[in-house]
Amino acid sequence: MIGVAIGLGNIWRFSYIVYSNGGGSFFIPYFVAIAIMGIPFLILDFHLKNRSVRFLN
């Protein structure tokens, strides 16, 4: 849970810094990259944790 919280904090902070420095057009590829890479890794992480819990029980 700590990793998820730290990761989300970095995502929101980086986005704010880019926007405040005039890089608003960077948001489109940034969010596309998060959707393409981040969500599948999150799903993979959940499934691997679920399998390891089942294996240990």
Q: Residue 13: what pLDDT? A: 80
Q: Which residues contact 34 (CB under 8 A, 6 or more apart)?
A: 11
Average pLDDT over residues 3-24: 73
| 3-state SS class at 15 | helix
- Measured CA to CA, the distance from residue 19 to residue 13 in angstroms comes to 10
- Boundaries of every domain in the chain: 25-57
Q: Residue 29: what pLDDT? A: 82
pLDDT band at 2 (very low <50, low <70, confident <90, very high): low
pLDDT band at 14 (very low <50, low <70, confident <90, very high): confident
- Measured CA to CA, the distance from residue 8 to residue 14 in angstroms comes to 10
pLDDT tens-digit map of 25-54: 877 887 888 888 888 888 999 998 888 877
Residue 14 near residue 6, CB atoms below 8 Å? no
Among the listed residues 26, 10, 29, the one whose alpha carbon sits nearest the alpha carbon of residue 18: 26
